Amino acid sequence: MAELWESGAGELAELVRSGQVSCREVVEAHLRRIDEVNGRVNAVTVVLGDAALAAADRTDRALRRGEAAGPLAGVPMTVKENIDVAGSATTLGIVALRDAVAERDAPHIAELRAAGAIPIGRGNMPEFGMRWHTGNDLRGVTRNPWSAEHTAGGSSGGDAAAVAAGMAPLGMGNDGAGSLRWPARCCGVAALKPSLGRVALMGPGSRPAPFAFQLLSVHGPIARRVDDLRLAFAHMCGPGDGDPWYAPVPLRGPRPAAPLRVAVVTGAGEDEAARDAVRRAAELLTGAGYETEDRTPPAPARAGALHTQIMSAWGRVHEEQPPVETVASEEFARFWAAFEEPWTRAAGERAFDPMMERAALVSAWAAWMAETPLILAPVCGRPPFRIGADLDPEWLAGWPAALRVTVAANLLGLPAVTVPTGRSGDLPEAVQIIGPRFREDLCLDAAAAVESAIPPLTPVTPREGRPGQPTEE
């Protein structure tokens, strides 16, 4: 019989509902797993053991009274350190915020709790969530479960590594420039970046985020299987009274005409492994009844440039936030200095009004996707990099182009799912599927079709002393 920590969210919830295991047994199994492997990857920064066990005991008592189990009853989850969890610090990876304890849960965390999910730990992140590698002076570096020498990605790297290593079946992160999809790709797990307005970013009493993050960033789940993404997503889209972008849209839209067309997008300078992953996924989708064709969406390079312009101009509260070097680590300041020139170049020609130009792109993509609703593309044109590579200005020069399609989805508010496609050498490989706004269902369906033909990659156990050679469980 498999260990409980090897099971997915849906499997665990069914075991609890059927009475085969208790919530306490599920939580204890994952706490033991954290104790066993977290020291090798440093994915979980704070273990919420006592609170998680207390929540499990409350659920077990309710079940003994004959009360109905929630759809996520007993399912442990990690939560990134820039998402509010009542009684835990929302640090953003910053030393100065180590005692910034939240009074209440973020809206989607409260909704997941109401469905029975149990926060078991906090996921590590880079300072401010503004780096594609996870590490900071407060919590240290998160290492990839597949290779201690390689990044776990960022900025939701702690949650992706925790899910990949079996410390929780679900992780809660967010994505403003690939911050769910890139670490999922690095660690060999699945992730969903929902549409803009789908998951409330803030609730009553929350401090508003800078405009760029309101527009470009969304909360989403990480899991080992696509069905678990779907399950979690169904219970994190409740009312967002404090979020002006929130839209209460049905989770499943009208059934499209078959065969559904998929645009296969490559040629943005990606490496051969990334192209091979896309080709393999396209073949699997064709076999599942989709119609795939090489096609390029409107002006992806300009979409990337506008994303950079908006993030640069409105990505932080300039009047209130002190200079980066005064609050972040010396390494983060080095990264920011090294990235300044590529970041500036990536902004391209300045728009007279970037929001007006964005609206024109939204319209162009909507018309294009009416004919070809789904896009199959690499998450990034580069593989997971060795830790420290992103401090090299020459290496960073090509990074914005490698993420061009990924950040276009952020700019335009489109949903996207990352799904593993196998391995490239010792590291996992993945693709992303992007769909029209509020059609997460189409993305998830296509990702499930790809996943059905791929042997599960995770959970994995990092083997001590032999980085890059994890043991499959």
Q: Which residues are known to be catalytic?
A: 80, 155, 179
Q: Tell me, what amino acid is at 199?
A: V
Residue in 127, 182, 175, 65 with CA at minimum distance from that of residue 415? 175
> What does each C-alpha distance from 57 to 53, 73, 109, 204 come to in angstroms?
6, 11, 19, 29
| Eight-state DSSP code of residue 223 | E
CB–CB of 82/97 below 8 Å? no
Contacts of 115 (CB under 8 A, 6+ apart): 70, 71, 72, 73, 235
- Chain centroid to Cα 204, Å, comes to 24
Maximal C-alpha separation, the chain: 64
Residue in 70, 64, 58, 74 with CA at minimum distance from that of residue 23? 74
> What does each C-alpha distance from 446 to 217, 225, 324, 353 come to in angstroms?
23, 13, 41, 36
| Structure tokens belonging to residue 245 | 């972008």
DSSP string, 23-75: HHHHHHHHHHHHHHHHHHH--EEEE-HHHHHHHHHHHHHHHHTTPPPPTTTT-
Please, what is the angle between helix 300-314 and helix 404-412, to 10°? 70
CB–CB of 465/437 below 8 Å? no
DSSP string, 392-444: -HHHHTTHHHHTHHHHHHHHHT--EEEEEEEEETTEEEEEEEE-STT-HHHHH
